[in-house]
Amino acid sequence: MSASTHHSVLKHHFDNLEQQHAAERLGMWMFLATEVLFFGGLFGGYTVYRMWYSEAFAVASSHLNQTIATINTLLLITSSLTMTLAIRSARFGDKGGLYRNLLLTAGLGTAFMVMKGFEYAEDFHEHYVPGVLFQRAHDSAAEAVAGLSRLEAEDFFKKNPQHPEWARELVLANHGKSLGDPGYVNADHVQLFLCFYYIMTGIHGIHIIVGIGCILWLVLETYRGMIPPANYSTVEVVSLYWHLVDAIWLFLMPLLYLAGAGLVH
Amino acid sequence: MSTLTERAPLASPPPPEPIPAEPNYLNNSFSIWSWLLTVDHKRIGILYLVSITVFFVVGGIAAGLVRLSLVVNDSSIVTEDTYNRLFTAHGVVMLFFFLIPAVPAVFGNFLIPMMIGAKDLAFPKLNLASWYVFMIGAIMAVWAVLAGGIDTGWTLYPPYSSRSSTSNVIPGVMGAFISGFSSIMTGLNIMVTIHKMRAPGMTWGRLPLFVWAMYATSLIQLLATPVVAITLFLLMVERAWGVGIFDPALGGDPLLFQHLFWFYSHPAVYIMIVPGMGVISEVLPCFARKNIFGYRAIAWSSMGIAVVGFLLWAHHMFVAGISFYSALLFSLLSMLVAVPSAIKVFNWTATLYRGSITFQAPMLFSLGFVVLFTIGGLTGLFLATTGTDIHLHDTYFVVAHFHFVMVGGMVLGYFAALHFWWPKMTGRLYSDWWSRIAATIIIVGFFFTFIPQFVMGYHGHPRRYPNYPAEFQIYHVMSTAGASILGIGYLIPAIYLTLSLFNGQKAGANPWAATGLEWSTPSPPSVHNFDTTPVVVCGPYEYAIGVDQMGRGLPEGPGEGGPLGIASHEGHPSPPGPMIKETEVVG
Amino acid sequence: MSGLLHLIPERASTLADMFEALFWYITITVSLAGLLVYGALFWFCVKYRRGKSSPSTPRILGSERLEITWTIIPLLIFLTFFGVGVWVFNYYAHPPEDAMEIFIIGKQWMWKAQYPDGQRVIIGGNPANMTEAERNSIGRLVVPIHRPVRLTMTSEDVIHDFGLPAFRAKMDVLPGRYTTMWFEANKLGEYHIFCDQYCGTWHSLMVGKVAVVEQGEFMDWLAGHKPLQGSDNAVDGSLAWEGRQLFLKLQCIKCHSDAANSGAPSLSGIYGTRVALDGGGAEIVDSAYIHESILKPRAKIVRNYKPVMPSYEGQVTPEDLNKLVAYIRSLKDGRPPTWTERFPIPEGAPTERPEPKSPEKK
C-alpha cells in the first residue's frame, strides 16, 4: 500500500506519519510516568503504614482472597500477551488476528473485573469494609463471646458461623489482651489496611475499565480501516498503557495480598 | 576582554511586511461553537486568557477584602469565620486557577508551536480537553469558595480539614483535583511538542529560552501534579467516609499528608515562576537589542530548578515534627536550588551591559520582575536556613516572601508577556504611555504592600490572623494602602488593553523587531501559523547582528516612542555595519 | 495606633541572641549582594539607554569564567548560611538534660499548661468558648529566668503551633504524638504566645503571654497556684482527663453524645443517680454499674433503651475502666462530652519524646 492511501490517518498538524507516531509514543510514555507517580503516592503511604503496623497489616491481609488474586494475576499477564500479539497482527495487516487478539485482551480484562466483582461482593458480605460495617461486625463478634474463656469462645464460633472469619480471628487473637499488650491486633490499623486495599485496587480497577474502553475503541478503529500496517503504532500506544496497568497489578498484588502470607490460620 | 570573531550568518535584507492573514485565527469564524470546539492552540490560549482573568479578579477581590479587614486589629470589619474563608478563597483561586495556568496555558499554548515553527501542538484535541477539564474543576472550586466558602487555608491540613472544618471542603478539593489533570495534560502536550515538532534547523541549542523554560515547567507539571491528585483524593475519602488515613485517632499520620502535599506544592511554585523567567529571557534581549548573556547557563538553570525543586519539599515542615537530620538535609538541598535562580539574575543583568535599552511596558515589567524576584529569592534564604526558619515559619515573613516571588515575580512576568505578545495575539497596539504608567504603579504599589509584611513577620506576627496585637496596626495600614495602589495599577491595563481591541493602532508583524519565529507571521497569525515551514539557521536573540532565526534582517528596534507600527516597519534599512560581526566575549 | 516597632524585636532567650546573629549575618550579606545587582542594573539602564549610547550593540554571548564565578561564590555563601543555621537549629533541637518540663496541650482554641507538681494554667482562647472553671484559670505561662524549660506538647484535636517570638522559638503541636521545644529565658518581662498553625475559627485568639520572672517569684507562684481539681471537663493529666481520651477513642461518644435519637442514655450528671432498668428494678449508677455496663452491656439496660451497646471486653484494662468511671463522674449536668476534645495519646507514630517508643504500644 502506498503512502498516499494512508493520507487519511495522518493528522493535519504533523508533517509525516513518522513524526505523528513518534509523538504519540512519546506522549504515552510521558502519561505512563504520571501514572507511576499517581500510584506512587498510594504505594508510599501504604509502605509507611505497613512499616509501622506490620503485624496488624499482616493479619488484615491474610483475610483477603488470595485465590481470586492469583487467578486475576494470570488473567492479566495473559492479556498482556494477547495485547502484544495484537500489535503483531496490526503490523502484518492480519485484520482477523487483530480483532481476535484485541477482543481476547478486552475479554480477559473483563474477566478480571468480574472476578474482582465477586471478590468485593464477598468482602462486603463479610463486612470486611472499613467504617461502620467493620465496626459492627467486630463488635457483635466480640460481644457474643464476652466473658467466655478462650476455648469456650472458639467453641462458640464453631457453632455460630454467621460471624465472619476475620472477625472471629481478630476477637480470638485479642482474647484476654488489651491495647499495648504484645500480640494485640489493633482493629483501627486493620481498617487502615482496608482503606488502602480498597482505594488501591479500586483505582486500579478504574484504570482497567478505561483500558478496556481503549481496546474496544481500537476494535472500532480497525473496523473503520484506520489501522493499516503503516499505522500499527496506535495499537502499540494502547498496549503501553495496558502493560503499565498490568505492571501496577504485579506490584499491588504481593503488597496487598501476600503481606500476611506467613500467617497460619 | 578578549575578542572572539564568530562567523555570524549572512543576513538577507529585512523581509517585507507579511500580508495580513485573511482570515486570521480570530476572524475565520465568529460562531460560539467555533470557539468552544476549537482545536487551534491559539484560540485555546485565548480561552484560557479569558478564564484566568476572571479568576484573577475573583482572587483579587478576596485579597482586597482581606487587606481591608486587616486595617483594624480585631474582627470588626469581617468576622473571623469570614476572614478565614476569604484568605482560603484568595489562596485557592490565585494559586490553582491563575498562577499555575497563567503563562503555561495562555502563552505556552499560544506561542510554543509558533516559536518552534510548528502548525499546532502535538495533541490539539487533548489541548481543548485540558481547557474543559480546567474549567470544570475551576467552576467547582470557585463555587465552593463563593457559596459558603472553605475555611481550611489553601494548604488543607488534616485533621482540621478532614474532621473539624464544617465548610465546603469536598467540592473545593474536588475542583482542585479535577483541574490538576488539566495541568498534566498541558505539560504532556508541551513536552511532546518540543521534542517532536521543531522546524528544520531548530536544534535544542537554538530554542528560545521561553521554550526551555516551558519544557522545564512541563516536566514539573507532569511529574508533581499526580502526587497532589492522589493526596487530595485520599483527603476527600477521609472526610467523606470518616476513615483515618491522616487521623491519629484512627492510626493515621497527619504528617503523611504534609509530606505528600508539599511533594507537589513545592515544585508547584516552580511551575509558577519558571515560565515567568522564560518571559524575561525573551523580553530583555529584545529591549536591550543584545544577545542574552549566558544562553546555556540560563537553559541549564531552568532544568536544574525543575529537577532539584523535587528534593526540597520538607523545608515547609522544619517545625512540623520531622527529625533533626531530615531538616538538615532539606535545608542543604534548598540552598542548592537558590543557585540557579541567582545565576539567571546575574545573566539577565549582564545582558543589559552595553545594550541599547528602551523602557516600554514589557521592559518595565521585566525589570520589575528582576528587582522584586531578587528580593523574593533572597528572603527565601532566610526560610531555607533552619535556624532562622524556626522563628519566621508561619509568620508574615513567609507571606511577604512568597508574594514577592509570585506577584512581584510571576504576575509581573505575566504582565510582561501580555504586553509583549499582545500585538501578535490581537493585531493591535495599546497605549505606550498608559502601559508605562500602569507598570510603574503596579511595581510601586506592590512594594508598599509587602515590605511592611517583612517587618511584621520578623517581629513574629503570625499568618492567618484577623485579630492581632495593636503594635502591628500601623504596618497593616501601610500594607493596605499599598494594596489599594496595586489594585488601581491592575485596573489600568484592563482598560487600555480592552480599548486597544477596538481603537488600537493595527500592529505589524514585528512591532518590537524581535527575533523569534512567531514574529515572522502576520499579526494576528493565520490559522495554520506558517504558510511554509520555516527553516532555522541561527540561534535566538541575534539582536546585535540584527537577524531573526531564519537569518533575515531585523528592522531597527523600537524607538523611544514605542513599538513599531506597520508604517514604521516598511522600507526600513538593513542594520548598519558589516553583516559578519565580531563577537566580544567578556572575561 | 502605636509608633513603629523597634528595629530588632525584643530578645528574651539564649536562642534569640543566636538567632539575631544568624539573621543579621544573612541580612547584611544578601543586602550587599542585592545592592550590587541593583546597582549594576540601574547603572546599565542609565548608561546604556537608547539615545545615550550607540545604537549598535556588541555581540556578547557570555563568559564561562563569570558563570563559574557567580555560581561558586553564591553557593559557598549559601552554604555558610546553612552552616550557621545548623548551629542555631542544633541548639534549638536538643534540650538540656536538666530542663524543667512543662506539659502543654493545645486544643481548639486555647492552651493548657501543666507544671511538674500539677499546677495548671489556661492560656489564651476565646472566653465565650470556655467553661466557667476554664475562664477562672486563664493566666500566663510563668517561667523562671535563667533556667532551661522544656515544653512537651500535644494536641487534643487538630494541629496547632506554640510560638514564642521573643524566644525565637516555635514548634507544631500535633494530635497523636508529643513534640518538644525548649528555651532558656534571659530577660524579665512578658512576651507574646501565639498559635502559629492555622487551626480554625478562633486561631487568632489562641494567644497569651509568657511571663519571665525571678526564681523566687516563680517558686512563690507555684506554691500559691492551686491546681484545677475535679471540676467540669477541664482536668488534665488526671484520671478523668485520661478517661475522656478513652471515651473518645473507643467511640463511646458516637452514641452517648446527648444528641437527639442517639439511642443511648445521657451521661451528664448521671453518676450517683438512680436509673430505672428494663424489666423492672432500678440501679444506682456507681463505679460497679459502670464497669458492668462497659463489659456486659446487655446485663442491665436502662429502661426505654434498646440493647444495642457493644461490649468492650478485651478492649479495656481495669485501669481504663477506672479512668472511664472518673470521667463519667466528672460530667456535670448539662455538660455533655464534646467532639473537640480529642485524645492526645500517641499511638504508633515515632515521636520526639526523649524515651524511644515502639509502634503499636499505648
* Residues of chain C positioned with their CB less than 8 A from the CB of A53: 348, 359-360
**pLDDT (average), residues A114-125:** 95
Report CA-CA distances (Å) from B321 to A41, A58, B546. Answer: 21, 28, 57
pLDDT for C227: 56
Does 1.10.1060.10 match the CATH number of domain C246-330?
no
* CA torsion through residues B415, B416, B417, B418, sign: positive
Of the candidates A52, A140, A186, which has its C-beta nearest C349's C-beta? Answer: A52
List, for residues B532-562, the tens digit of each pLDDT value: 899 999 999 999 888 899 988 887 777 766 7
* Residues of chain B positioned with their CB less than 8 A from the CB of C40: 349
Which chain C residue shows the shortest CA-CA distance from B582? Answer: C59
Which of B416-420, C125-129, C287-291 has the highest average model confidence (pLDDT)? B416-420
Question: Binning pLDDT at 50, 70 and 90, where does residue C103 land?
Answer: confident
Which chain B residue shows the shortest CA-CA distance from A57? Answer: B251
Question: Binning pLDDT at 50, 70 and 90, where does residue B576 land?
Answer: very low
Instruction: Please answer yes or no on whether C1 and B463 come within 8 Å at the CB atom.
Output: no
List, for residues C172-192, the tens digit of each pLDDT value: 999 888 899 999 999 999 999
For residue B555, give the amino acid letter. Answer: P
Instruction: Please answer yes or no on whether C41 and B349 come within 8 Å at the CB atom.
Output: yes
Give the residues across from C153 on adjacent strands. Answer: C104, C179
Of the candidates A30, A31, A37, which has its C-beta nearest B227's C-beta? Answer: A37
Instruction: Please answer yes or no on whether B585 and C61 come within 8 Å at the CB atom.
Output: yes
Distance CA C241, CA C345 (A): 11
DSSP annotation of C210: E
Task: Give the three-class secondary structure for B355.
Answer: coil
Cβ–Cβ pairs < 8 A, chains B and C: 331
Chain A contact for C51 (CB, 8 A cutoff): no
* Residues of chain B positioned with their CB less than 8 A from the CB of C160: none
Q: Shortest Cα distance from C132 to chain B (angstroms)?
A: 23
Instruction: Please answer yes or no on whether C251 and A179 come within 8 Å at the CB atom.
Output: no
pLDDT for B23: 85
Question: Binning pLDDT at 50, 70 and 90, where does residue C303 land?
Answer: confident
Least confident of A214-218, C19-23, C342-346: C342-346
Instruction: Please answer yes or no on whether A42 and B260 come within 8 Å at the CB atom.
Output: no
Q: B170, B239 in Cβ contact below 8 A?
A: yes
List, for residues B484-532, the tens digit of each pLDDT value: 999 999 999 999 999 999 999 999 899 999 999 999 999 899 998 998 8
List, for residues B242-300, the tens digit of each pLDDT value: 888 998 877 889 999 999 999 999 999 999 999 999 999 999 999 999 999 999 999 99
Question: Binning pLDDT at 50, 70 and 90, where does residue B342 land?
Answer: very high
Distance CA A73, CA A66 (A): 10
Percentage of the residues of chain C whose pLDDT score is greater than 90 = 41
List, for residues B130-144, the tens digit of each pLDDT value: 999 999 999 999 999
Chains that touch B (3 or more CB pairs under 8 A): A, C
Degrees, nearest 5: CA angle B55-B60-B64? 155
C240 pLDDT above the threshold of 80: no
* Residues of chain A positioned with their CB less than 8 A from the CB of B243: 130-131, 191-192, 195
* Residues of chain A positioned with their CB less than 8 A from the CB of C320: 178
Residue with cell 469565620: B81
Distance CA C135, CA B456 (A): 30
pLDDT for B3: 44
pLDDT for B179: 95
B5 pLDDT above the threshold of 60: no
pLDDT for C55: 73
Q: Domain segments of chain A: what residues?
A: 16-257
Which chain A residue shows the shortest CA-CA distance from C350? Answer: A52
A2 pLDDT above the threshold of 80: no
Chain A contact for C311 (CB, 8 A cutoff): yes
Of the candidates B122, B191, B256, which has its C-beta nearest A45's C-beta? Answer: B256
Class of domain A16-257: mainly alpha
pLDDT for B216: 97
**pLDDT (average), residues A161-187:** 83
Pair type for strands C141-144 and C208-213? parallel
Distance CA B61, CA B85 (A): 13
The CB density around residue C2, as the number of other CB atoms within 10 Å, is 10
**pLDDT (average), residues A176-182:** 71
Q: ω into residue B524 within 30 of 0, thus cis? A: yes
Of the candidates C2, C41, C51, which has its C-beta nearest B560's C-beta? Answer: C51
Chain A contact for C295 (CB, 8 A cutoff): yes
List, for residues C242-257, the tens digit of each pLDDT value: 787 778 777 787 778 7
**Which of C313, C357, C358 is most worth mutating to test chain A (most A CB atoms within 10 A of its CB)?**
C313
**Could you say which architecture CATH assigns to the domain C100-222?**
Sandwich (2.60)
C308 pLDDT above the threshold of 50: yes
* Residues of chain B positioned with their CB less than 8 A from the CB of C195: 462
pLDDT for B561: 63
Cβ–Cβ pairs < 8 A, chains A and C: 53
* A1 CB burial (10 A radius; 0-12, 13-18, 19+): exposed
Cell of C29: 550579606
- Three-state SS letters, C313-328: CCCCCHHHHHHHHHHH
Instruction: Please answer yes or no on whether A38 and B224 come within 8 Å at the CB atom.
Output: no
CATH H superfamily, domain B41-586:
Cytochrome c oxidase-like, subunit I domain (1.20.210.10)
List, for residues C66-83, the tens digit of each pLDDT value: 999 999 999 999 999 999
Residue whose C-alpha is closest to residue B381's, from C83, C163, C36: C83
CA B117 and chain centroid, separation: 23
Residue whose C-alpha is closest to residue C243's, from C283, C291, C300: C291
Chains that touch A (3 or more CB pairs under 8 A): B, C
Degrees, nearest 5: CA angle B470-B471-B475? 105
pLDDT for C314: 77
B346 pLDDT above the threshold of 70: yes
Chains that touch C (3 or more CB pairs under 8 A): A, B
